[in-house]
Amino acid sequence: MGEHTAPLFPQEVIDEYAALGIDLPALFSAGHLGERMGVTIVEAAADRVVGTMPVEGNTQPYGLLHGGASAVLAETLGSIGSMLHGGANKIAVGVDLNCTHHRGVRNGLVTGVATPVHRGRSTATYEIVITDDQDKRVCTARLTCLLRDVPEPEAG
């Protein structure tokens, strides 16, 4: 569905995860749901995450972009930003997602841009603005993630 290209990460972030043996582009992908919906991560850093998603295949019965599809894009982008903020020793778990849908979209590609509102030690909140091909705002979302310590590997 979507064209998958490797997202752009800051070199220091790539190095941090590579030292731990982690494939960063795979870790910060849109996951199985995002793949089915055609989500593509274009750029990823703690201060800005950009992704796209096609409208086609992600519509509701009236032929408009489904609000849940916008929520998937928003949560994906905000979660990636939160995880990058938390670093390799934290995992981000979404605890609150709010989406306001401003206008319908029938075709093309939507683009989401996530920027931080708050980046603390235990939580991170991102605002995600989703626009259409004409750069008109389709949805504004806010995601708060809890930053949890990565569990220690089990012995044995």
So which residues are the catalytic ones? 75
CB 3 within 8 A of CB 39: no
Q: Tell me the residue type at 114.
A: A
Rounded Cα–Cα distance for residues 137 and 125 (Å):
20
Q: Is residue 62 part of a domain?
A: yes
Neighbours of 122 (CB within 10 A): 10
Q: What is the pLDDT of residues 70-107, one digit of tens each?
A: 999 999 999 999 999 999 889 899 999 999 999 999 99
Q: What is the pLDDT of residues 103-119, one digit of tens each?
A: 999 999 999 999 999 99
Q: Residue 101 is part of a domain; what is its CATH number?
A: 3.10.129.10
The dihedral built from the CA positions of residue 100, 142, 45 and 2, taken in this order, carries a sign that is negative
Average pLDDT in the 134-149 region?
97
Rounded Cα–Cα distance for residues 68 and 114 (Å):
17
The three-class DSSP label of residue 75 is helix
- For residue 2, the model assigns a pLDDT of 42
User: Would you list the DSSP string of 94-127?
Assistant: EEEEEEEE-----SSEEEEEEEEEEE-SSEEEEE
Q: Is residue 25 part of a domain?
A: yes
Q: What is the pLDDT of residues 18-75, one digit of tens each?
A: 777 777 766 666 678 888 999 999 999 999 999 999 999 999 999 999 999 999 999 9
Q: Is residue 15 part of a domain?
A: yes
| pLDDT interval class at 6 (50, 70, 90) | low
Q: Number of structural domains, the chain?
A: 1
Cα radius of gyration (the chain): 16
Q: Which domain holds residue 83?
A: 11-149
Q: Is residue 155 part of a domain?
A: no
Q: Is residue 78 part of a domain?
A: yes
Q: Is residue 138 part of a domain?
A: yes
Q: Is residue 128 part of a domain?
A: yes
Q: Is residue 1 part of a domain?
A: no
- For residue 5, the model assigns a pLDDT of 54
Choose between 156 and 136: higher pLDDT: 136
Does the pLDDT of residue 152 top 90, yes or no?
Answer: no
Does the pLDDT of residue 1 top 50, yes or no?
Answer: no
- For residue 109, the model assigns a pLDDT of 98
| pLDDT interval class at 125 (50, 70, 90) | very high
